[in-house]
Amino acid sequence: MWLSNRYGCGDCHAHGKAISVDGLTERRKLSSALMFHLHCTKKLLDRIKPEVAVPGQSDTALGNWYATALFWRPQLALLVSERTLLPVLMPLAPAATLARRFPAQLALVLKEYGAPSEFIAQEVWRMDQVRYAKTVNRSVVGILNEFVKQAEFWLAAYAYEKGDDDDLLAISAKLAETPCSPLYKGPVSPDKALHELVKAGSRA
């Protein structure tokens, strides 16, 4: 789409510094400490039944994530980046593995937007561990609820059936074009917010 693929598929970078092959052991030590925080609605926490931690800050560029469940047939999960409000739709089941499956689905969404391969690799690398938490940002919860309504419309419009991953990517993209009030002073919509985030990272 609007992002150019400026980087190759080389090794991941930590904090903007390259880690050589010789530093593989160091990378593994670092990655074991990298995590993201997943703030879930009560109905999703009731479904997953995880250990709930004190809210903190994620090590990822996209920040903390908020998630809820869509009890459709088939059931889906909707996740939204707190920093950019970027939405990601994916199958809910099995709910216990949602957080482990999420980085791969996010990578597909970021690739769909033409995000640089280095940005995608770093984001996935920094999601090595997950900490579940309750929702605390009412503004993001409001956007999450609005996206749920829109997703239900698009899921019906696309006649989504289990296994149609391309449909989930397409619907996620539709949601990302939505103007969101928390972004009005800047990029306005999640797709543009992602663009600005990646552009800022490439200049750093």
pLDDT above 80: residue 14? no
Mean pLDDT of 142-167: 84
Task: Note the pLDDT tens digit of each residue in 70-100.
Answer: 998 889 999 999 999 999 999 999 999 999 9
Decide if 135 contacts 40 (C-beta within 8 A). Answer: yes
Mean pLDDT of 5-31: 38
Q: Annotate 108-123 with b (16+ C-beta within 10 A) or e (fewer).
A: bbbeebebbbbbbbbb
Percent of the chain at pLDDT exceeding 90: 61
Residue 183 CA to residue 170 CA, distance in Å, equals 22
Task: Note the pLDDT tens digit of each residue in 36-54.
Answer: 999 999 999 999 999 999 9
Residue 120 CA to residue 186 CA, distance in Å, equals 23
Mean pLDDT of 104-128: 94
- Residue 167 φ then ψ, to 5°: -65, -45
pLDDT above 70: residue 18? no
Residue 69 CA to residue 3 CA, distance in Å, equals 30
Structure confidence at residue 136 (pLDDT): 95
pLDDT above 90: residue 32? no
Residue 81 CA to residue 88 CA, distance in Å, equals 9
pTM, to two decimals: 0.80
